[in-house]
Structure 1
C-alpha cells in the first residue's frame, strides 16, 4: 500500500498492489486531483489498474478519475449507490462550489457496507460510514491492520458536516463504528497523516 498526497486540498490517494508481480493488477482508492505522481508510480511499477474504489464522490477525491481511466480504459469504477450520480453532477460533487465544475466518468459498479471487496489479492471488509457524505465507505483489511476511511476520521479531527447531504448524527454513528476496530488499526484518512484507532479513541477532541 502506497499513499500519494494530491491536489490543492492535499487529498490522499492510495495504491494497493502485490509486490514482486510485474503486470499485476492494482487497485486505486480515491485518485484525487492532479494525479501525476500516482500515475507515474503506476507506470514505473508496470502495474495495470484493475479497479478504482471511491470512499465518496467529492471533487477532490474524484478529479483524477478521467486521466486515470484514459490510461487504463478497462478499469472498473466503484462507489456506494447513494453517490453514483454525484460523479457527473458538479453541484453534488461540490466542484461547482469552487468554480471548477467537474464531470467524472460514470461508475461501473456499486459497493455496500456489510460486504467485501478485493484489492492487492486480499479481502477488504466494507463498512458503511455516512455522515460527511451519504454514501461514505470505509475499507478495512484485518490481516494488514489497515482502514481506509475517506473523510470520516482524521488524525485529531473528523469529517465536515456542513456540506449539502451531510448528516452530523450519521457521522457520529459512523465514528462509533470505527472505534470498534482494534486499537492498533492504522487509519488511512482522506487528508493528513495516518493515525490509529487507539490514538484517536484516546485523544481526538471530536469523539
Structure 2
C-alpha cells in the first residue's frame, strides 16, 4: 500500500493510505473543445472514449511523491493536473503530474495511464479553504532537456477543468467518497511547438488570493534496453 504525506499551510501533516486512484480524462468544461481534441488524437491513432468526461481506474501504488520517474523509452510525457485527496482530516487539493506512455496510448488510454506514476506534490490545501476561488488558481508546467525545467509547456487555470465538486459527486455515486481515494483531474492544453518528450518536468499551482504555490518537479530516466 502506498502512503502519501502532505503538509498543510498551518504546518499540519496528513498521511493518506491510497486505496483507490482514478485519472479523469477529457475533463475540460468546454466539451466542444474536448470533442475537437478527441478528433485531433484520433488522427494520431489514439482511440477516443465512449463517453466524456472519462474516468480511468489506476493501480493505487502509482500514486507517488518522487523526484525521478523511470520509463521504458523516449516517448513519455507528463500532464499538469490537480489532485483531489480524500483523507481522515478532510478533502485536500494538491498539484499533480500524470506521466503517460504516449506509444502505449494509441493502444488504449487506460493502459497508458497504468504504465507510469501519477506524481503528487508534498504540500496541499484543504479544499474548503480554496473552493470559493478555484477558478482563479493557475496551473502551469515547464519542461527541460536537462535537469532544469525551463520551457513553459502548459499555462492555464482551474477554470478550464471540471471542478473538484463535480468529481466528488461522481465518487459519491460510486461509493468512493471516502478516505484513501485520490482523483487526478485531467489536464489542460499544451503549448504548440514545445517538445513534451523531455528530461525534466515541473508543475505549479498558484493561488493569487492567498499568495501560496504548490509545486512538484522530477527528472525522467530511461531504463536500460531489455534483453530478449
Alignment TM class, shorter chain as reference? under 0.3
Q: Highest Rg: 1 or 2?
A: 2
Normalized per residue, the structure richer in strand is: 2
Q: TM-score, normalised by structure 1?
A: 0.27
